[in-house]
Structure 1
Amino acid sequence: MTLALRQPSVIPGFGITLGFTLFYLGLILLIPIGAFLLYTAQMSWADFWQAVSHRQVVASYKLSFGASLIAALLNLVFGAIVAWVLVRYRFFGKRGIDALVDLPFAMPTAVAGIALVTLYASTGWVGQYLEILGLRVAYTQLGVVVALTYIGLPFVVRTVQPVLEDLDRELEEASAILGANRLTTLRRVILPALLPALLTGFALAFARALGEYGSVIFIAGNLPFRTEITPLLIVAKAEQYDYPGAAAIGTVMLLAAFVLLLLINALQWWTARHTRR
């Protein structure tokens, strides 16, 4: 019986890399979250419920989750279209447009918020014309959706784009040869291959929008019960030294986002499993 020699590798072995990975994730991610939840657990149930069920807080939940969901759905549709255009077509200025997609990543959120207010205010370049049509964006719930859509678009585009680039076009040609029209090819060939990436992009855009603060507070107007988002309430309570209240609201947001991401990951797993069949 001969012993197989280990192949030389530049990267250290599994044990070392796994240990480093767990240590790094624990230090950066798990310990802060664990300490946050432990701080919240020290509150009594009555104090916790009072903090998270206040009418103003509930109104902010509805706005934050509702606007984040709408923005993520918009990005899911239009982000997929942008990725398709960037991958499948050649045109002048393509590289410039491709670079612009990453602009929300590089731009500070406060700058993005000021830019959106300048654009959509009643005296702005776009807002003044929308005002004539009776449509207000700045300082309304619609403005919150616009801001969240702006910061979430790159997550969908950059998630779908690599999958489109690797998608074998011969499958589409075979579908056309077999007599399928474009709509059937899109529904039966392209969308099943893109669905896991689309769900991932949707989840990332939704999670990013749910915790967004800087770009929203400028365009929202921050009116209680109308345009006040939950992250703003958390910051306001922290500034008032109401750390237990801020931690309680933050825990609700954290648990809700975790449950939603868990459901989306389960849907991704189910989709990928049935796609292979």
Structure 2
Amino acid sequence: MGDGSGAAEFAAFTRAVGDVVGAPAGVLHAMRRPVEIQVVGRAGVGRSTLVSALERSGFANVVEAPAVDVPGRTDPELGPDVVVYVFTGALRTPDVRVLAKARRGSTVAVLAKADAFGSREVAARASNAAAAETGVRTVPLSAGRDLAVVVDAVGAAVQVVQARRVREMLDALAVTAAQDVGGAIRDGIEAFLRSDPAVFAASESAAVLGADDRGADDRGADEEDSEGDRRRRAVVERRARTRRAVAAGTSR
């Protein structure tokens, strides 16, 4: 989803679900909200430079957060969407502190000014060490190089955010349908869930999120749902394959 694979499925799902009677307004509003990309880091690490680079690469809604680890000021709150954390050299305690609060999957750490390490191999080792320490995908960025890798990583994080939104809407629709004792809203929701936009978006979101994208902060009680999640993913993926095969056959 996002700027790459699945963007069309997410857009079609977002348009179609707006016409479903009973679709929760709050979840629908959150789904339609543009994905924000928040660039975070200590002062002097190159946040403004990266914001400009991401905007030139075609990303919208890129914002520069206030600097981390400023005396007398609390660290900025991390947004709910994509977080791009910029640092230089080795990770410092403030970097680790902020990254520990960031949600995995939709967070990317960027080792800026990687050319200061003297070679790409040394920079890559430093980037891998940071990823191992924080559990956050980390990519090096040198002046005039490596931007494509950063763009790919941020694009993947956007896809994760959109996939989470699809899953949240599917869960909300399931709850709404279960609560409809009359059945009219339930029938409409179930018809929508059998539609191409819903099947394709559900399949794509399952592929993006993988086995279980709930993160360490909200596991526990949700762990028991993992088997149900796997069954639902298998169903939507099977339907998507069938529909794509039929579409390919009719287009010949």
TM-score, with structure 2 as normaliser: 0.33
Q: Decide which structure has greater helix share.
A: 1
Comparing both chains, which one has the higher relative contact order based on Cα–Cα distances under 8 Å and sequence gaps of 6 or more? 1
Larger C-alpha radius of gyration, 1 or 2?
1
What's the TM-score, normalizing by structure 1?
A: 0.30
